[in-house]
Amino acid sequence: MVNTVACFENKIYLHHMLLRGSNEKIGYQLGCYAKKKHQIDKSNHTDHEIIKNQYNYLRANYPQHYERMSGFANAYGESLENHDYDFSYFGRLIDNSSCSAVFYPPEITENGLGYISRNLDFSLPSDFKERSSFFPFKHSYLVEMYPENGYPSISLFCFEVFGLALEGINSEGLAVIHLADADTRMDHDDLSTMQTRPGFNEFLPVQYLLDNCATVQEAKTALGKIEHYHVAIPVHLLIADKKGDSFAFEYSYDGTKKVFIDGIRKSPLKITNFQLNRLTDQNLIRKMEFNSTENGYDRYKILENRISSIQLPFTENIIENINTDVYIHKDNEEELERTLFHSIYDLSSSSVKFSLLPTINMSKNNFVKFTLTT
């Protein structure tokens, strides 16, 4: 079942999709929709050995996704035994994005609930005002899944339905948010493979953690075990659970080691598009300050100053309002560089609400809300 829940000028759409059953059945439903609604063609790949190795890796390390891949391939009349096509993800990947997110642990909120408030920023196409051209977020989907194997979840997808999740929350109150890592991209422009490799690309861990983990500690353990590669852009992750635990998952300055930065239960955890692990090095801080508009360090300082000015505890309205300070062109709807989504996750109720293209005029920001059922 698919419903359009928000629309901007008949050019940007937010849809809600409800899926139940085996992961293979869910994958088949996604595949049929991608094929019929978006006319996505099969993804040819010339290196059969790489595809075979990736399929074997995912079958062993992420069986839920492998089962969904099998159903997706079946919708195209294919089998995963055929390595001519890459069914590990579909659609055109995003080139870059700018994001801001804050986790508010239950101990510092008025109602004792944990929240994540998150902005997703992206550039509209230059001909957006003249015609409805392609860009990755033209059709975004809130996919609400109730699989037979794995936790139920609500995830945001923008790559023609199947693609790769950008953020989400599961039935256990674990939320996972991706944000672009501009520092790593600037310092290591050769990291991206632009094609499949055996392991988890930068986006796949989002849904993997939602499918398999109930707590922050479980998520840490899971991330520590899997192999990673960058297919398009370096990212880092904000991960939090309903108990109030949280961490940021990043890579070290040289791009080789996994880094886990723990949040504090009595303080918000803020993250934009620079690596938090660089805050311990004054030389790197100066470098980040120099590139502050590119890596989001300027937005981080705005959030830091606004949060520090507020007397505890945080109310839900204040949590929602703080992120308006870092909306991109919030007061100029003619600009193409915009905050596309403002999402607010309530970890205690496993719910999320989204506002499409929000502005500084809060009365215009209509949120649509979805809650996982038990």
Under DSSP, is residue 251 helix (H, G, I), strand (E, B) or coil? strand
Average pLDDT of every residue of the chain: 89
Residue with tokens 């006319």: 39
The pLDDT, as a whole number, for residue 246 is: 99
The pLDDT, as a whole number, for residue 10 is: 80
- Residue 359 in any domain: the answer is yes
The pLDDT, as a whole number, for residue 193 is: 66
The pLDDT, as a whole number, for residue 231 is: 78
Q: How many CB atoms lie within 10 A of CB 88?
A: 27
- Residue 313 in any domain: the answer is yes
Structural domain count of the chain:
1
This prediction has a pTM of 0.94
The whole-angstrom distance between residue 351's C-alpha and the CA centroid of its chain comes to 15
- Residue 9 in any domain: the answer is no
The answer to whether residues 52 and 85 touch, using CB atoms and an 8 Å cutoff, is no
- Residue 85 in any domain: the answer is no
Contacts of residue 166, defined as CB under 8 A and 6 or more positions apart, other chains included, come to 120, 155, 156, 157, 158, 178, 203, 206
The pLDDT, as a whole number, for residue 98 is: 82
The pLDDT, as a whole number, for residue 133 is: 56
Which residues in the chain belong to E strands, given as ranges?
2-8, 12-21, 98-104, 115-123, 139-147, 153-157, 165-170, 175-180, 235-240, 246-251, 258-262, 269-271, 337-346, 351-356, 367-371
- Whole-angstrom CA distances from 77 to 32, 36, 336 are 10, 13, 40
Low-confidence ranges of the chain (pLDDT < 70): 44-45, 91-96, 127-134, 186-194, 255, 330-335, 362-364
Cα–Cα nearest to 239, from 211, 212, 210: 210
The answer to whether residues 110 and 315 touch, using CB atoms and an 8 Å cutoff, is yes
Q: Which domain holds residue 183?
A: 98-371
- Residue 133 in any domain: the answer is yes
- Residue 152 in any domain: the answer is yes
CA 85/CA 74 separation, integer angstroms = 12
- Residue 113 in any domain: the answer is yes
CATH number, domain with residue 314: 3.60.60.10
- Residue 181 in any domain: the answer is yes
Give per-residue pLDDT as tens, 156-189: 998 777 778 999 999 999 999 999 988 777 666 6
- For residue 190, the 8-state DSSP code is T
The pLDDT, as a whole number, for residue 329 is: 72
